[in-house]
Every structure is written in C-alpha cells, then in structure tokens.
Amino acid sequence: MIDWLLEPLQHSFNQRALVAALLIGLTNGYASAFVVLKKSALKVGSLSHALLPGIAVAIMLVGLHDWSAFLGALIAALLIGLGSLAVSRGTRLDQESALAILYTSAFSGGIILLRRMNVTQQMEDWLFGNIMGLRDSDLWMNYWISLGSLAILTALHRPLLMTLFDAEVAATLGVPVRALNYLLLAVLIVVLISSLQAVGCMLAIGLLVTPAATVYLLTDSTGKLFWGGALLGSGASAFAVLAGWWLNIEQGPAIVLVLGAVFLIAFLFGPKYGLLRKFRKTSHSEFIS
C-alpha cells in the first residue's frame, strides 16, 4: 500500500508535475481572491478562452517553442480585453457583450487554425491541459511567473483593495485607480497563461476562481481569502496530480474537479454559511415560533 502511494514520486515527470501544481495552485489561489472580490469571474473566464487564438497564430508564425505560445496567448488576451473596452467606449454596447462577441469569434478562429495545421494532440493539451508533459524550462517559467505575480499583488495589496471596495475614495486619496485596474487585469492574464499547461484554456477559470470562492463561504475575513485561497489551490492541485496517477485519470480536469468537490463541501457543510446550517437554523426558528 505504501509503495503504491509513493510510486508517483519515483518518476521525474511526476515530480515536475507536483512542483508545477504547487506553484500554479498557489499563485492562482492567491489571485482568485481579487477575482472574487471584484466579481469579475465571467470576464476573466472569457479572457481564458481568448488565449487559444494567440497560441494558434504563434504556432503558425514561429512554431511551438518555450515562449511562443506564452507570448501569443498574452497578446491575444490583451487584444481581446482592450478591444472589448474600446468597443464599449465607442458604441452603446456594454463591455461584457463586446467581450462575448470578440472572444467567441477569436476562439472559433483558433480552433480552425490549429486543426488546419494538423496539431490535434497539441490542441487537446492547450484546451484541457497536460501537466505531465511539463519540461524543466516550463517549470522555470512557471516559477518566475509565480514569483513576479505574487510580488506585484502583495506589494500593491492595499491600494488594489482600495480600488476594489471604493474606487472613488481611492481616487481622492491619490491612488491611480485606472492604472491599477489595468495592472491587475494584466497580472490575472499572465496567471491564467501560466496555468494553461496544467488545466488548459477551457478549465483555467476554475482554478482562478474556486479557491477564494470556497474560502469566501467559510470566513468573513478579507485577509484570509488571499493566503487561504493560495493554500487551498496549492494543496488541491498537488493532491489532484497524485490522485490522477493513482486513478489513471487526466490531471488537468482532476485539479478542477477536486477544487469543485471542496467547494461543494463548503457550500453544504460550512459552519457559518453552509446550506445545512441555514436549513437547521430555519427549521429551529419555525419550531420555536
């Protein structure tokens, strides 16, 4: 039994996958607090789908290299995000509607391009992740992205929270609200891209929302959302990699599934906001009355 449990640690690709899961889960979990507090999960989810066309164009132009897919995805997400903002400011259409049109069009074009280039297996990896295929260079890239993203978010923690809770007051205090909003969006996009090889374009939003959303059901402390989400994202991702090996299932979907299961437990059995607690409280009140 012990040998079976420890078997994944004997393979170098599993070791890389575990380290990557810890890094990616930690960074996404910390950043997820900003997404939950900003209530922008659907907007960020749209941007995660916008990454695919950038990857497709990068492969078509320069081939698939360590940085080509990353830069292609980054440029595509920025173009879609800024494009939706330009459309909303230049027309009577709201940004969410513009974003939906742009990202679905771009996503469709990305699928067509990848299939025309006959990279079906790579497309599967980019859509749903392949954390077991990480190389040392990919691991180092995840390390630097995690380090840089966490450094920026923690250094600007206070002014970012001020812009999220009361942008008008923050502006009167001299906080550059618009610049911080753009910076936060850029960091979230980079964090999304760092998780592509783990969970893919289709599932990246689950990793970037679920950790802090789960903690949000367990505490009223804003501070606990950040490192609580980071610990949950890191631990759940690492466990999912091991569980995927033990159960012979894909690790990318397993990461999001484990996080979803933990969220369901918090939703049902949370000591403060759990559904069962509310049900017992309602039943008790009706019994007394």
**pLDDT higher for 35 or 85?**
35
Q: How confident is the model over 197-252, as pLDDT tens digits?
A: 788 887 888 899 999 999 999 988 888 899 999 999 999 999 999 888 888 888 88
Domains: count for the chain: 1
Amino acid 3: pLDDT: 64
Whether residue 156 is predicted with pLDDT greater than 70 in this model: the reply is: yes
Q: How confident is the model over 108-153, as pLDDT tens digits?
A: 887 788 777 766 656 667 777 788 888 888 888 888 999 999 999 9
* Residue 262, domain extent: 2-288
The CATH number assigned to the domain holding 279 equals: 1.10.3470.10
User: Among 157, 151, 152, which Cα is nearest to 175's?
Assistant: 157
What is the rounded distance in angstroms from the CA atom of residue 118 to the CA atom of residue 74? 23
The DSSP-derived string for 178-220 is HHHHHHHHHHHHHHHHHTHHHHHHHHHHHHHHHHHHHHHTT-S
Whether residue 283 is predicted with pLDDT greater than 60 in this model: the reply is: no
The pTM assigned to this predicted structure is 0.85
What is the rounded distance in angstroms from the CA atom of residue 77 to the CA atom of residue 193? 9
Q: How confident is the model over 37-67, as pLDDT tens digits?
A: 888 777 777 777 777 788 778 777 776 665 7
Whether residue 254 is predicted with pLDDT greater than 70 in this model: the reply is: yes
Percent of the chain with pLDDT over 70: 90
Q: Are 99 and 84 in contact (CB under 8 A)?
A: yes
Whether residue 77 is predicted with pLDDT greater than 70 in this model: the reply is: yes
**pLDDT higher for 260 or 6?**
260
What is the pLDDT averaged over residues 97-118? 80
Instruction: State the first-to-last Cα distance of the chain, in angstroms, to the nearest integer.
Output: 55
What is the pLDDT averaged over residues 89-103? 80
Least trusted range by pLDDT, from 53-57, 74-78, 282-286: 282-286
Query: Which stretch of DSSP H or E encloses residue 111?
Result: helix 95-116
Strand, helix or coil at 270?
coil
